[in-house]
Structure 1
Amino acid sequence: MKATQDVLRVWRKFDQHPMETITKAWYASQSGQNKQRSVTLMKEHREQFGTAGNCFDLALWLMDELKAEGIHAYAIGHDLHTPEAHVAVVAVNDEGNSYFCDLGDQWIDPILITRNSSDFCEDALSGFITGGKISVQVGSNDVLFKYIRPSGKVSKQKFNLQPIPLDELQSAASFSQSLLRNPLVEMRVYTPEEVIHWEFDRWNSFMSSNSGLMNEPKLIDDAQWADRIHLMSGIDREVICKALVIYSKKG
């Protein structure tokens, strides 16, 4: 069910890229603009400040990298133009197999969603998300993912498989960039034993692993939070501080 090497080679370029909403607050304050950045600008910011972006940023960036390698790619999503919007990417290899690639939720690897492929499996599989298994159900127009935790808890997420037109994707992305709701950083942490999911969400942080959820100690102020976020994500500390001040005022 894992992607072929041509797709994985591009996916691995993003292993150290966090999913984060730090950049949108910082960039809005710097530029006075609440719109989607170009891939070129995202790369410049990455080089200078260690930033990455939210799910729209990462989807557009991943699509650009895939297409540069001659791999057909397009965006899919749900709840566009709402605060609950989420997008991911479908990459199609030379054999015509489609792989779901979700950097926005920091999946470990892309997963096969071509139902008539000999490699397709609807069983709950490990190795794609941290701290649980995933099962895939592909319909005629959508794909349903079931996230199954060791406790037995099951959550679901459904995506329409219709490719999002680029103009609509850009419009929905700019809408998302204009929403400064909560500071969020998610990061895959690679250890010899497993891939751990680290998350900062509204002045709380925790790690998810195959052993369960571990909450980290609360910190006193934004300066300490900036140190922790910088340590885990590599984002420039000053960028983090500026963004946290903005989000604090929103709260």
Structure 2
Amino acid sequence: MIEAPAEILTVWRQFDSFPMETLTKAWYYQHSGVTKQRSVEQMVAHHSQYGITGNCFDLAIWLLSAFDEAGIKAYPVGSNLKTKQAHAAILAEDQYGRRFLCDLGDQWIQPIMIDFTSEAFDGNKQSGFFPGAEVQVRPSEKGFEIVYFRPNGKRSSQVYMTQPIEREYLLEAAEYSQHHIHPEPLVEVRLQDKGETVHWEFDNWQSFLSTNAGLYPDSPVETLEDWIERIHEKTHYDKEFLLEALSYYKQLKSNE
């Protein structure tokens, strides 16, 4: 599979150290007014102050703005918008009109080409695009499907619609998402380990590492302070921010 050209990768790599997480959603929900979706200017300021990034909508909006600044044609795509299962990503085009999926929300290592008619397209399984898995791009009825092949033989898939989303509608879907907070906190981050990009995940008070060799659960911890230390170690997020966000999720869980 052909790699994205340098101009797309240059923008993408500005976000290499950016986790995807729902902690910022919970934190900002408490500090904001009626509008819950942050502007790019707010995201930049919060990242500078606390080290934080955001969920898939935050990252898609931020990445789209970066492509705009670089003069690269790009547009948002998504699935299940304005539902609790919504997901948003970006398609960027090179000078030949070839489209590349740029999905920070799922923490891809690098963009992947999704044009099936291109001579450069390879429909075989590919490594080096997604941490801890090989991927295969397949056509679907209204777009394309990504199939993930894990080291343990497990498969999963996700379908993307290639129809561009109007930017105004993306913001509406983002606003909907920021108003709906799942009671289980989530953090995903790409890390470098022994020459490999791996995927660390904190999901509903458990954490684990996905590598090309398999899935490795972390040792369990019980206290909020221990979780703050562990997440800070992986993300470098501000500890006071982590305390506030995780305490909010603890309160949500106790109200269930």
TM-score, length-normalised on structure 1? 0.97
Per the TM alignment, residue 159 of structure 1 is displaced from its structure 2 partner at its CA by 0.9
Mapping 1:83-98, distance limit 5 Å: 83-98=84-99
Aligned to 1:29: 30
Opposite residue 102 of structure 1, the aligned amino acid is D
Opposite residue 167 of structure 1, the aligned amino acid is E
Alpha-carbon distance in structure 1 between the residues aligned to 2:252 and 2:52: 21
* Structure 2: gaps spanning 5 or more residues: none
Per the TM alignment, residue 152 of structure 1 is displaced from its structure 2 partner at its CA by 2.2
Per the TM alignment, residue 150 of structure 1 is displaced from its structure 2 partner at its CA by 2.1
Opposite residue 220 of structure 1, the aligned amino acid is E
1:72 partnered with 2:65: no
Per the TM alignment, residue 225 of structure 1 is displaced from its structure 2 partner at its CA by 0.5
Opposite residue 30 of structure 2, the aligned amino acid is S
Aligned to 1:210: 212
1:225 partnered with 2:222: no
Residues 76 and 162 of structure 1 are in contact (CA less than 8 Å); yes or no, is this contact kept in structure 2?
yes
Mapping 1:1-251, distance limit 5 Å: 1-33=2-34, 35-139=36-140, 141-181=142-182, 182-251=184-253
Opposite residue 239 of structure 1, the aligned amino acid is F
Residues 77 and 85 of structure 1 are in contact (CA less than 8 Å); yes or no, is this contact kept in structure 2?
yes
Per the TM alignment, residue 224 of structure 1 is displaced from its structure 2 partner at its CA by 1.2
Residues 27 and 33 of structure 1 are in contact (CA less than 8 Å); yes or no, is this contact kept in structure 2?
no
* Structure 1: gaps spanning 5 or more residues: none
Alpha-carbon distance in structure 1 between the residues aligned to 2:236 and 2:154: 32
Deviations 1:164-208 (A, max 9, x none): 111111011011111111211100002342001001111111100
Opposite residue 168 of structure 2, the aligned amino acid is D
Length, aligned pairs only: 251
Alpha-carbon distance in structure 1 between the residues aligned to 2:238 and 2:162: 36
Deviations 1:31-58 (A, max 9, x none): 2445210011000000000000000000
Q: 1:34 to 1:208 in 2, by over 3 A?
A: farther
Alpha-carbon distance in structure 2 between the residues aligned to 1:88 and 1:166: 12
Opposite residue 243 of structure 1, the aligned amino acid is A
> What CA RMSD, in Å, does the superposition of the two structures yield over aligned residues?
1.2
Alpha-carbon distance in structure 2 between the residues aligned to 1:234 and 1:14: 15
Alpha-carbon distance in structure 2 between the residues aligned to 1:32 and 1:249: 21
Q: Secondary structure at the match of 1:126?
A: strand
Per the TM alignment, residue 151 of structure 1 is displaced from its structure 2 partner at its CA by 2.4
Per the TM alignment, residue 250 of structure 1 is displaced from its structure 2 partner at its CA by 1.0
Opposite residue 67 of structure 2, the aligned amino acid is L
Q: After alignment, is 10-19 or 191-200 more displaced?
A: 191-200
